[in-house]
Amino acid sequence: MLTRRNFLKTVAATTAVSTFTQPLNFVQAANPKLIKPPRLKPGSVVGIVSPAGATFVREELDIVQDAVRALGLVPQLAPHVLDKYGYLAGKDADRAADINQLFSDAKVAAILPIRGGWGCSRILPYLDYKVIQQNPKIIIGFSDITALLVAINAKTQLVTFHGPNGLTSWRSQQTESFRRVLFAGEKLTFKNQQDASDSDRLMQVKYRIRTINPGKVRGRLIGGNLSVFSTLVGSPYLPNLKGTILFLEEIGENIYRIDRFLTHLKLAGVLKQISGFIFGQCPGCNPGSDYGSLTLEQVLSDHIKPLNIPAWHGAAIGHMENILTLPIGSQVEINATSGTITMLESAVSFK
């Protein structure tokens, strides 16, 4: 069965109403000033890190460095990038030290993880958020990296980016999104593109939009992997979610587990905070052998439709071949009928 961990291995190989009277404490003050990292330029230095799962094959690190160089950037390896501690890429304090060091290094413009897996949540208490806030730079990734991106945004108000890990495909569509958002600083509109398998069909079959509630709304974009995001609830690492647009994706989970995660967000008061909702792709999410299982569509309808906020599912976001570069913490407008996310501001600065 697909999981977040074996998905990343596969990509590398082939390209590789709440009963609570008060919600849990969302620690950040409402709408503090957003910090944007400087944009990338040709020759910018990219720090390559392993904040989660270990890299056991040196060639995978070489592949990531080749991708960075092909982008016109210069790779710089973090000191503990090839460390191993069981399934983790070294001890928690060492993995966090790499993040802190790269943020404090004036030469480094961006931080790129090799992979996700598991482990980012373990290093959150060891990060120096004052250093990160005073030295804003691009940090990007997806899957388990969700914990790192969301926590840094919560603690520092730095815009972070849900986008490629080092060992994703870096095919043309993925690279174009990365360049336009992080190099050019464009304000893009994201919409599902026709899959190649549908090119000679009369109708679209793959990546269809399913509207839960129609409408448009504006707000800060927050989200990432569902299971990782839900574990941050009740911690000091979740942003103020009031009025935000929440996007979620998952892979390789039975439907009852998706239901469990969303129920957790509901009971914790998270869902009643948000103004819009997007659910992306969920490959390998099926009932399994569970007799009489709900469908994913039913679960999403049960939890999201009563909120009466613009919402849809089927967005081309998640564990898939082309990973879009989405700004976490930045202002966007969504249209739940057309299934579009429109950036209302550049996510990077032009210093």
Q: What is the DSSP string of 60-100?
A: HHHHHHHHHHHTT-EEEE-TTTT--BTTBSS-HHHHHHHHH
Cα–Cα–Cα angle for 336, 342, 348, rounded to 5 degrees: 145
The Cα–Cα gap between 49 and 112 comes to 6
| Residue 290, pLDDT score | 63
pLDDT along the chain (351 residues), means of 10: 51 37 39 90 98 97 98 98 98 98 98 97 98 98 98 98 96 94 98 79 82 98 98 97 98 95 98 98 82 90 98 95 95 97 98 79
Residue 217 lies in a domain: yes
Query: Which structural domain range is residue 46 located in?
Result: 4-14+24-343
Q: What is the pLDDT of residue 167?
A: 97
296-304 and 255-267 are packed helices; what angle lies between their axes, rounded to 10 degrees?
10
- Do the domain assignments include residue 351? no
In a domain, 312, yes or no: yes
Strands ordered across the beta sheet of 108-113: 74-77, 45-49, 108-113, 138-141, 160-162, 326-328
Buried b (16+ CB within 10 A) or exposed e, 210-238: bbbbeeebebbbbbbbbbbbbbbbebebb
- Quick one: pLDDT at residue 351? 79
Would you please indicate which residues are annotated as catalytic (active-site) residues?
A: 143, 249, 319
Residue 350 lies in a domain: no
* Residue 348: inside a domain: no
pLDDT score at 289: 65
Residue-level pLDDT at 109: 98
Question: For position 4, what pLDDT does the model report?
Answer: 54
Residue 349 in domain:
no
Say if residues 44 and 137 touch (Cβ distance below 8 Å): no
User: How many other C-beta atoms lie within 10 A of the C-beta of residue 198?
Assistant: 15
Instruction: Tell me, yes or no, whether 28 lies in a domain.
Output: yes
Distance CA 279, CA 225 (A): 10
Confirm if 316 and 323 have CB atoms less than 8 A apart: no
Here the CATH number for the domain that contains residue 268 is 3.40.50.10740
Rounded CA gap, 237 and 154, in Å?
6
In total, how many domains does the chain have? 1
| pTM for the model | 0.90
Please indicate, yes or no, if residue 19 is contained in any of the structural domains: no
List C-alpha distances in Å: 272 to 15, 257, 268, 308, 335. 40, 20, 9, 10, 19
Tokens of 225: 């992997």
